[in-house]
Amino acid sequence: MTNTKDHPTALPARVRTVVVGAGYAGLSAALSLHDDGIDTLILEGSDRVGGRVCSERRKDGVVVDHGGQWVGPTQKHLLALAERFDCPTFPTYNMGEHIELWPDGVHRRYTGAGPDSGPGMADYLAAADRIDELARTVDLDDPTATPGIERWDSETVHSYFERTVANEDARRRLALAVEGVWSIEPRDLSVFHLMFYVASAGGFDQLMETEGCAQERRFRDGAQSTALAVANHLGDRVHVNTAVRQVEHTTNGVRIETTRGTILADSVVMALPPSATQRVTFTPPLPVPRTRWVDRSPMGDVAKVHAVFDTPFWRADGLSGQATIYGNRAVGVVFDNSPEDAGHGVLVCFVYGDRQRSWSALSDDDRRAAIIATLVELFGDRAASPIDYTEKIWPQDVWARGGYAASPTPGTWFAHGRGGWRAPTDRIHWAGSETASIWNGYIDGAISSGARAAEEIRKQLSR
């Protein structure tokens, strides 16, 4: 879904504030400033708003979310924004039995958070409790002040699990949990960032579960619907197809050079993921801690694949459509992504990390065959013939270059977090989900980060 204009209005010569990036962080910052009567312009390089949230209406009217899609009860910023702009939600389908599929082909059906007697389950739950204990030590207002940060930021999650979790099946469960939340492998994540992220969400289960947690509800018209509503409210202040190339501090303000002209502003909100920030030239150069933080915060590797069927046939079999897959199959996790009225059946498949890199290198036909084969293994022969099939391979997205979020590499929080995470750079303020203290990496965190950046600007303008 797009919010483009065939003939965009000309860029003004000067505004009070320019917001770079029309994802949820940039839209939130611009909306907050606009609400306070501060002259604001938002610039977006792509042809749509929403950033890493991207909804598409497929044939027969089925809406699929290629990017972020869920909202949980504690994600109050997103819920409030959706309520303001009348974007209804509905519960994620969570009835019936879930499936886990193991490398040896064993299927296990269960209800609730996990199979109580499943292999490695007791050790997995014990490890989750230890992670929660560590997360409670994190200082969310100043993460770099967390006791023991150097130690925890120096160890990878892979080595931590190898050191503290004896059961191999429990480690498999934990590894898939990491892939599912961060879309990277445990070797690429520091224990400290895991601690911070869990603390930011309010607990390990908040990240993993559905009812009462991050995956509880979906948006009737797609998760991009609220972003589109905000953009329509802001009107001509939103300029898509307008990529920012340079940001320069001058004696008269901040000069922003774009693909459609140059603008002068009193202040700037940079609401881009680190991967996109790298494409902008800053004059004078950004402080070293900020450049190091950006350079050492790569995006994850994830693809979302939707298979659409005439009906959600798995429900009649007593299945929820949710599945976790261990081993070498391409798919890691499956959810029922059917519309609220169940007029069609939709299964969304997540492909993460190492599996994503191998799978995405295949031909179009072979990628599809690998996905469908797993769905047939899970749900039977009726899964072999979807009426529609679509992929979004996020590392191939020219703007985001990955998903869901950027994760600082081990050692980056300790070495560069204090000055690099989100501290303003003169008249440049930093937003984006990666800069949030609460629900970091999520849509809700993006919205709160935009509000924080707007508040920084209000204080700066009042001096």
**CATH of residue 141:** 1.10.405.10
- Give the residue numbers spanning the domain of 348: 89-94+213-219+300-396
Say how many C-beta atoms besides its own lie within 10 A of residue 289's C-beta: 17
Residue-by-residue DSSP string for 179-205: HHHHSS-GGGSBHHHHHHHHHHHTSHH
Pairing of strands 89-91, 302-309: unpaired
Amino acid occupying residue 271: A
282, 304: one domain: no
392, 305: one domain: yes
In a domain, 413, yes or no: no
Count, residues in the chain:
463
Task: Report residue 9: phi and psi, to 5°.
Answer: -65, 155
Paired residues of 97 in beta bridges = 319
Q: Which of 305, 309, 304, 306 is nearest to 382 (CA)?
A: 309
In a domain, 173, yes or no: yes
Q: Which of 292, 348, 253 is nearest to 56 (CA)?
A: 348
Q: What is the pTM of this model?
A: 0.97
Domain end position, chosen among 147, 178, 208: 208
- CA 375 vs CA 118, 347, 459: distances in Å: 21, 9, 53
Residue-by-residue DSSP string for 66-88: SS--EE-TT-HHHHHHHHHTT--
> In terms of pLDDT, which residue wins out, 4 or 310?
310
Determine the angle formed by the axes of helices 191-201 and 121-135, rounding to 10 degrees.
80
User: Do residues 59 and 70 lie in contact, with contact meaning Cβ atoms separated by under 8 Å?
Assistant: no
- CA 25 vs CA 31, 207, 322: distances in Å: 10, 20, 30
Residue appearing with tokens 């027969």: 60
**CATH of residue 236:** 3.50.50.60
Paired residues of 348 in beta bridges = 306, 335
- What was the pLDDT predicted at 355? 97
305, 281: one domain: no
Is 244 annotated for ligand binding? yes
Paired residues of 238 in beta bridges = 42
Distance in angstroms (rounded) separating the CA atoms of residues 98 and 127: 22
What's the whole-number mean pLDDT along residues 373-398? 97
273, 315: one domain: no
DSSP state of 409: P
Domain end position, chosen among 208, 232, 266: 208
Instruction: For 297-353, write each residue's pLDDT tens digit.
Output: 999 999 999 999 999 999 999 999 999 999 989 999 999 999 999 999 999 999 999
In a domain, 262, yes or no: yes
Helix residue spans in 258-384 (DSSP H) = 274-277, 288-295, 353-360, 364-379
User: Do residues 440 and 434 lie in contact, with contact meaning Cβ atoms separated by under 8 Å?
Assistant: yes
Angle at 111 between CA 109 and CA 113, to 5 degrees: 115
Paired residues of 5 in beta bridges = none
- What was the pLDDT predicted at 112? 85
233, 204: one domain: no
Instruction: For 239-287, write each residue's pLDDT tens digit.
Output: 999 999 999 999 999 999 999 999 999 999 999 999 999 999 999 999 9
pLDDT(86) > 90? yes
What's the whole-number mean pLDDT along residues 68-80? 98
Is residue 155 packed enough to be buried (19+ CB in 10 Å), middle (13-18) or exposed (0-12)?
A: middle
Pairing of strands 238-239, 319-325: unpaired
Instruction: For 163-201, write each residue's pLDDT tens digit.
Output: 999 999 999 999 999 999 999 999 999 999 999 999 999
What's the whole-number mean pLDDT along residues 70-83? 98
195, 124: one domain: yes
Angle at 367 between CA 363 and CA 371, to 5 degrees: 170
Say how many C-beta atoms besides its own lie within 10 A of residue 209's C-beta: 18
**CATH of residue 360:** 3.90.660.10
Q: Which tokens belong to 77?
A: 């910023």
Q: Count CA within 13 A, CB hemisphere, residue 451.
A: 14
In a domain, 63, yes or no: no
281, 328: one domain: no
- What was the pLDDT predicted at 7? 43
Residues of 416-455 as b/e, b for ≥16 C-beta within 10 angstroms?
A: bbebbbbebbebbbbbbbbbbbbbbbbbbbbbbbbbbbbe
In a domain, 419, yes or no: no
Residue appearing with tokens 């860029």: 11
In a domain, 384, yes or no: yes
Long-range contacts of 126-134 (CB under 8 A, 24+ apart): 127/161, 127/164, 127/165, 127/170, 127/174, 128/204, 128/205, 130/164, 131/194, 131/195, 131/198, 131/204, 132/198, 132/203, 132/204, 134/191, 134/195, 134/198
In a domain, 179, yes or no: yes
- What was the pLDDT predicted at 460? 85
Instruction: For 41-62, write each residue's pLDDT tens digit.
Output: 999 999 999 999 999 999 889 9
Q: How many domains does the chain have?
A: 3
317, 279: one domain: no
In a domain, 318, yes or no: yes
Determine the angle formed by the axes of helices 412-420 and 288-295, rounding to 10 degrees.
130
Domain end position, chosen among 156, 174, 208: 208
Distance in angstroms (rounded) separating the CA atoms of residues 149 and 138: 9
For residue 1, what pLDDT band results from cuts at 50, 70 and 90? Answer: low
Is 257 annotated for ligand binding? no
Is 434 annotated for ligand binding? yes
199, 249: one domain: no
- What was the pLDDT predicted at 319? 98
- What was the pLDDT predicted at 6? 46
Average pLDDT, the chain: 96
Long-range contacts of 103-111 (CB under 8 A, 24+ apart): 103/326, 103/327, 103/328, 105/377, 107/378, 109/319
Instruction: For 391-443, write each residue's pLDDT tens digit.
Output: 999 999 999 999 999 999 999 999 999 999 999 999 999 999 999 999 999 99
Q: By percentage, how much of the chain surpasses pLDDT 70?
A: 98
384, 434: one domain: no
